[in-house]
Amino acid sequence: MFLSDNWYVAALGAELTTKPLSRQILGEHVAIFRNESGRIVALADQCPHRGYPLSLGTVVGDELVCGYHGFTFDCTGTCVAVPGQDRIPSRADVRSYAVVEQGPWVWIWTGRGEAEMSLLPSTPWLVDTENWSSVGGVAKIDAAFDLLVDNLLDLSHETFLHNGSIGTPEVASTPIEVEADEDSRVVRVFRHMNSVDCPLFYSRTTGLEGKVDRWQDIEYSPPGYYLLHSRIAPVGQPPLPDGTDDHAFHMKIFYGLTPSTEDSVYDFWALARDFCINDDEIDRFLEKMQTGVVQEDVDALNILQIRTSRVPEVNEVSIKIDRGGLSARRMLATMSDARGHP
């Protein structure tokens, strides 16, 4: 069962043109496109006439014309024309979804009721292009959503799975602090590593060599939004008491976790940094590195899905590093229970 009364990332803005994109989100097929006025539209990807995917249709002006028999829909999903007759059946409308473009990401409200704007994650770092530069991408994983939650909440896997890029021995060996804030519905995991080797991901981009202080502070807002505050600084220079932290390099690492089906998930990512602003070469480097890191996770989770679905009774052994992931599972279970699902 999906937690549908939420916002999820549906697409990268850069993916959307007047040629509709077909994406399965929380089990539903959705056609997403920009109409000729530039507005982003998301409609149920099935013509009510004979079920043909509307994503195979054509955008004409502000409307989408089905590629099979020409049923035509406006951006609210209202059917505005059918071939061969003036009368349009009242049941010919399709569902339209609320969408919001914020920085590189396009969010979709998958709930049945009115879109709850107060639940839309705020990502100011992805919008403030004067002070932050960002890159982003998406990967599809043939694994259940829960496996991606586990993966992101326990970064000790960086040491082993991502040891050529972001993983150093200290990620796994440094203890974490975990906070589950039930009221604001956030799981926080803190890992502050002091005087540790700077991995390639950061040495190449910050210019810092040798030892650094490296902080990883996770904020997971279940179900679909994850933000990692990464801080890289010269050794022994914490932020000042007033919060200013000018000698440090900051990166915000975002993940949009969007279930596609019960056993597949979209892994949207974005990196925003407050250094090397508008540096194309650093953009390309980070894009390449992060694409490689994400692919390592994709490969691992694809294998894990096959193993865990064939051997469903895996008896897990949890240890201290799992406290973030376990808190996230409990919060998701509570949210499911609140919806009346088993």
Binding-site ranges for Fe ion (CB under 5 A)? 297
Q: Closer to Fe ion at the Cβ: 47 or 253?
A: 253
Beta carbon of residue 162, minimum distance to Fe ion (angstroms, whole number): 6
Minimum distance between the CB of residue 288 and Fe ion, rounded to whole angstroms? 16
Least distance CB 297 / Fe ion (angstroms): 4
Which residue of the chain is nearest Fe ion when measured via CB? 297
Nearer CB in complex with Fe ion: 126/148? 148
Least Å from the CB of residue 300 to Fe ion: 8
Question: What's the closest the beta carbon of residue 263 comes to Fe ion, in angstroms?
Answer: 19
Cα–Cα dist 256/229, whole Å = 15
Closest to Fe ion by CB, 5 vs 170, is 170
Closer residue to Fe ion in complex, CB, 46/216: 216
> Minimum CB separation from Fe ion for residue 157, in Å?
6
